[in-house]
Structure 1
Amino acid sequence: MASNIDRTLYPTGRAAVVTEKMRDSETSSTQGDYMIHPDGNRNGKVVDAGQQQTGKPIVTGVEQSQLEKIELTEEDCYNQLGYSFPEWKKWLILTVIFMVQISMNFNTSLYSNALGGIADEFDVSLQGARCGAMIFLVLYAFGCELWAPWSEELGRKPILQMSLLLVNIWQLPVALAPNFASIMVGRAFGGLSSAGGSVTLGMVADMWESNDQQYAVAYVVFSSVGGSVLGPVVGGFVGTYLEWRWCIWIQLIFGVFVQILHLVLVPETRSTIMMDGIAKKMRKTGQNPNIYGPNELVPFRDRFSAKEILITWVRPFRMFVTEPIVLTLSLLSGFSDALIFMFIQSFSLVYDQWGFTDIELGLSFIPILVGYIIAYLSFFPVIKRNINERREKPDDEVAQYESRLWWLLFTAPCLPIGLIGFAWTSLGPPVHWMGTMVFSAIVGIANYSIYMATIDYMICAYGPYSASATGGNGWARDFLAGVLTIPATPFFENIGDKLHIEYASIILFCISVILVIAVYAIY
């Protein structure tokens, strides 16, 4: 149990036993008998030049002190790591990450407003044009998993910079596309290049201890869900007044802006990378010529051998399959997001009954954003309650971990309530359209709450490896949404023969009831 774990080695708790096994298997192939903790040897063990590879000291005719290599620990330089950044600096970094996350999700949603123009120019059906959205989301799911572990090995900043650069580059084949194949290629590689929320959420664990992270997690999660709503709102105006390619150019302009902002304002936050830099500085200034960072003690050829590269890439997929926490919460979040994604696809059909223009259709997404804001604010007193509970019960595992899911027990039912309410208010005139918007806001409350609660729990459980853990959550959400992109519209068009759009929403309601029951079972 987490209460019996040596917290000087693994202060992040619940997942420590499993994570320790994972770390051991990943380091044993490159470090012989001597195991180096990937996040810093907290016991301050000394490694000499010969012992580093064989586990046995090799010292002949030279003083031991001249050969020994001392590994820098987090305790040695805690006040120089991300945890000790001033609060203003942490929130400045997080605000830039907020904008980066909005940009990533903006790329997934604004494309939908270009469908009509793409279909007309390249003589493809609307369903064919939607393949560009589908392939982006599906490969975005894999991008989250593939980029996340490298941010743990190489640092958050270079990985996010590389991801943003590649995403921006792959916007060009779409914006300048001479044919539909170019659009598909650009969207595919753009999705695969997107690091997603797994890296941005991992940065929360870099700057806040698990007991203090919840406000930061709530902030980043809000940017993730909010970005997906911003696309349709902006897209309504772009589709009305500009040519379809501007949907892509606007994505590129926004992407370049946030990349420059990230480059200038955001420092490295990954502890092991910062410790390497601190150790190098200490050697250079003569403060301690024998001190080394955790990554410096592992030869480059061993860290980046073919085997280690494969192990690093497989890590998030392995955690998704073998870690019950990651698997269950990711599937819960993924299926919830898939239901909501399908629900949103009905908007054009539903509001066409009231004669909404493209701009009005885009603005109809604002109630979902209102729901996200309500849910975000509702977590403030819940987080405060949770902090007090953890302080009062330091040895109670439920208080330390599962209590982070407590508010979900009350907000998850908003999903079926919102879906059934939307179904029976989406009948068209003489029923007023305002009713649908009230219930879509309630669906927004559920979506934010499910994402926030599951992510908060996983970051707390996995700490420094939270990027790999939350990668599974991102994979489930994006993959399922991508797979359902193509069948979503026919689903609403064919069930009820366009006369009873509410029938399809009722089916989603029935599925959501099962999903909510699963929330209580998981808790």
Structure 2
Amino acid sequence: MTRDDSSGTIVVGDATPKSMSRGNSTEKLWEKEFLVTWQEGDAENPRNWSEAYKWFVFIVYCAQQFNANAISTLWTPGTQEAAKELGVSEVVMSLATAMYLFGFGVGPSLVSGAAERWGRKVVEAPPLALIAIFQIPTALAPNVAVVLVFRFLAGCACAGTFNAAGVVADLWPREERGWPTAFFVLNSIGGSNIAAGFAGYLVMAVGWRWTFGIGGISTAFMLLFVFLPFAEETHHGVRLKRRAKKLRRETGDERYFADHEMKTTGQHPRQIIFETLLRPTWMLLTESIVFWFGLFESLTYIVIYLFIGSFQLIYVQYGFNMGEQNLAFFAIVLGFCIGFCMFPIQKALWRRAEKKGPMENGKPSPEARLLWVMPAGVLFSSSLLWFAWTSRPPVPWIVSMIALVFFGIGAFITFTGATEYVIASYGPVATSATGAQNLLRETLAGSLTIASVPMYKGLGNQWATTLLGCFAALVALVPFVLFKYGPAIRKRSQYHQLIVESIDT
């Protein structure tokens, strides 16, 4: 037995390529002694990078997702102006936001599996270029059909930006993923709200068409000057596959291989299609945890995107102009930030779980992530009812804004807990699981965005938001149910073995 010091790889046996025949085909014989794995302290292992560099790489990925989310809402205050210019109703014009969200849902559900096969960076770069390109015809659109088609395509192209969830699992072991996951959530839901907060003034200044132009410019900048120069491939399987390929080239021994390589070599095309394109959708349909937490997260997005259309109806009662109406989104962002700062509570609950449970294989189980989600769900639904009945004169506008702050706190905690729980439960296929949830979340949000203005005009501000609050109260039961029955549900999962293995990763 010898050691290749340049790669940190253990080399066993002499180098004589072997193969085995089966019928008319020749299959490679994988010899365990030549399996390429990480060694202790391996500098190429992303989990051994310095903490500062981990965060740097993670933020590079997060920046792309922030930009993609911002593009979804940046133009929305211009809906009325665009409808008038293109000769359609405001409801039809609101389809532009819905189509982007539909693409947002469909794209990641197809591409997230590809990221687990071929790596994070290679899957993300081409879609970023497409996002920038698709903003051009949207900005120059002569009719609403062009806007809708290219908004959908741009949403689909955003697929690669959802890699950040998988990057968390690549860079940090399970017990250290708390703060990165919290930041991922803040970044994910903050982008659309921060953009919406500025959007009113932007539309007033440059018009609705230039909002797409600005989105294209920002995406091109992110791709050329942030992502391509600084993004690192973080997927462990892909990095080990590259190392094995390098060893084969340098030694002339074809027996070196990586586990990821073994699992993906010689697969039937149908299996490749399933793992790269269909697995997220399959998980949504067959995995109870993925579906119910996807529904839980969906409500947060539904309310946010319904608010985008309703704030103009609500705060015009107070004499606010377009820019001032959308400043209400910063109340939600403030709530997100407060929720982020409250994350030490989750850490304290995690430490408590290390002593008192719930435990699994000697470590806190994924259900420990739900301890702060349960009360947050109650806060989330009650803040909607608070907003519903304080968002009209003579009640001062600040009262409803305070309700939005508490809504932001509840939304952030529920979203963070749900994301942590899914990542902890599904480990190696976490990107597919979050991609599946994204499909449900964005599709539902896109569908109901169309109904925003008609619903608020038909039911009135109070009853429309009350309806959302009542639905939120029902969905808030999900973490309570999973806290009790989650372990049993996970044991029935077809990914149970991966879940067990992820306990130690």
TM-score (norm 2): 0.86
Cα gap change, 1:299 to 1:327, in 2 (>3 Å): closer
Contact 1:69 1:292 in 2 (8 A): no
2:227 corresponds in structure 1 to 262
Contact 2:76 2:308 in 1 (8 A): no
Cα gap change, 1:269 to 1:388, in 2 (>3 Å): farther
Measured after TM superposition, the shift of residue 265 of structure 1 is 0.7
1:19 corresponds in structure 2 to none
1:119 paired with 2:83, answer yes
**After alignment, is 276-285 or 391-400 more displaced?**
391-400
Contact 2:21 2:27 in 1 (8 A): no
Aligned equivalents of 2:312 and 2:16: distance in 1? Answer: 64
2:241 corresponds in structure 1 to 276
Contact 1:197 1:224 in 2 (8 A): no
Measured after TM superposition, the shift of residue 433 of structure 1 is 0.4
Measured after TM superposition, the shift of residue 165 of structure 1 is 1.4
1:447 paired with 2:411, answer yes
1:474 corresponds in structure 2 to 438
1:203 paired with 2:141, answer no
Aligned equivalents of 1:76 and 1:277: distance in 2? Answer: 19
1:286 paired with 2:286, answer no
1:421 corresponds in structure 2 to 386
What does the per-residue CA deviation read over 1:214-242, in whole Å, with 9 as the maximum and x for residues that have no partner?
11111111100100112212211211111
> Paired residue for 2:464, among 498, 501, 504?
504
1:191 corresponds in structure 2 to 155
SS of alignment partner, residue 350 of structure 1: helix
Contact 1:276 1:292 in 2 (8 A): yes
Aligned equivalents of 1:258 and 1:387: distance in 2? Answer: 38
1:522 paired with 2:482, answer yes
Contact 1:104 1:196 in 2 (8 A): no
Contact 2:353 2:359 in 1 (8 A): no
What does the per-residue CA deviation read over 1:96-152, in whole Å, with 9 as the maximum and x for residues that have no partner?
122111111111111212313321221111111111111111121111201100000
Q: Give the AA of the match of 1:513.
A: A
What does the per-residue CA deviation read over 1:180-219, in whole Å, with 9 as the maximum and x for residues that have no partner?
2211111111111111664210111111111111111111
Contact 2:312 2:326 in 1 (8 A): no
**After alignment, is 378-387 or 174-183 more displaced?**
378-387
In the TM superposition, 1:38-437 aligns within 5 A as: 49-51=18-20, 70-75=34-39, 78-195=42-159, 198-260=162-224, 261-286=226-251, 290-297=255-262, 302-303=266-267, 305-387=269-351, 389-390=353-354, 396=360, 399-428=364-393, 430-437=394-401
**After alignment, is 381-390 or 266-275 more displaced?**
381-390
Aligned equivalents of 1:121 and 1:233: distance in 2? Answer: 24
SS of alignment partner, residue 169 of structure 2: helix
Contact 1:47 1:71 in 2 (8 A): no
Q: Give the AA of the match of 1:199.
A: N
Aligned equivalents of 2:18 and 2:291: distance in 1? Answer: 41
Cα gap change, 1:68 to 1:512, in 2 (>3 Å): closer
Q: Give the AA of the match of 2:389.
A: W
Contact 2:384 2:403 in 1 (8 A): yes
What does the per-residue CA deviation read over 1:47-79, in whole Å, with 9 as the maximum and x for residues that have no partner?
96424978x9999xxxx99x9982312458854
2:489 corresponds in structure 1 to none
Aligned length: 469
> What fraction of aligned residue pairs are identical, expressed as a percent?
27
Cα gap change, 1:311 to 1:416, in 2 (>3 Å): closer
Contact 1:280 1:292 in 2 (8 A): yes
Contact 1:143 1:192 in 2 (8 A): yes
Cα gap change, 1:68 to 1:358, in 2 (>3 Å): closer
Contact 2:293 2:478 in 1 (8 A): no
Aligned equivalents of 2:196 and 2:454: distance in 1? Answer: 20
Measured after TM superposition, the shift of residue 396 of structure 1 is 4.0
TM-score (norm 1): 0.83
What does the per-residue CA deviation read over 1:461-480, in whole Å, with 9 as the maximum and x for residues that have no partner?
11121100111221122111
Aligned equivalents of 2:273 and 2:457: distance in 1? Answer: 46
Aligned equivalents of 1:384 and 1:251: distance in 2? Answer: 40
Aligned equivalents of 2:331 and 2:452: distance in 1? Answer: 21
SS of alignment partner, residue 34 of structure 2: strand
CA RMSD of aligned residues (A): 3.0
Contact 1:130 1:485 in 2 (8 A): yes
Measured after TM superposition, the shift of residue 342 of structure 1 is 2.5
Q: Structure 1 stretches of 5 or more lacking a match?
A: 1-41
1:33 corresponds in structure 2 to none
Measured after TM superposition, the shift of residue 369 of structure 1 is 0.2
Aligned equivalents of 1:459 and 1:483: distance in 2? Answer: 27
1:21 corresponds in structure 2 to none
Aligned equivalents of 2:27 and 2:423: distance in 1? Answer: 41
Cα gap change, 1:131 to 1:152, in 2 (>3 Å): same
Measured after TM superposition, the shift of residue 405 of structure 1 is 0.8
Contact 1:106 1:231 in 2 (8 A): yes
Cα gap change, 1:47 to 1:426, in 2 (>3 Å): farther
Contact 1:368 1:440 in 2 (8 A): yes
**After alignment, is 196-205 or 437-446 more displaced?**
196-205
Aligned equivalents of 2:347 and 2:161: distance in 1? Answer: 21
Cα gap change, 1:147 to 1:508, in 2 (>3 Å): same
Aligned equivalents of 1:278 and 1:52: distance in 2? Answer: 27
Q: Give the AA of the match of 2:70.
A: F
Measured after TM superposition, the shift of residue 340 of structure 1 is 4.1
Cα gap change, 1:403 to 1:229, in 2 (>3 Å): same
Cα gap change, 1:290 to 1:378, in 2 (>3 Å): same
Q: Give the AA of the match of 1:458.
A: V
Q: Give the AA of the match of 1:509.
A: G
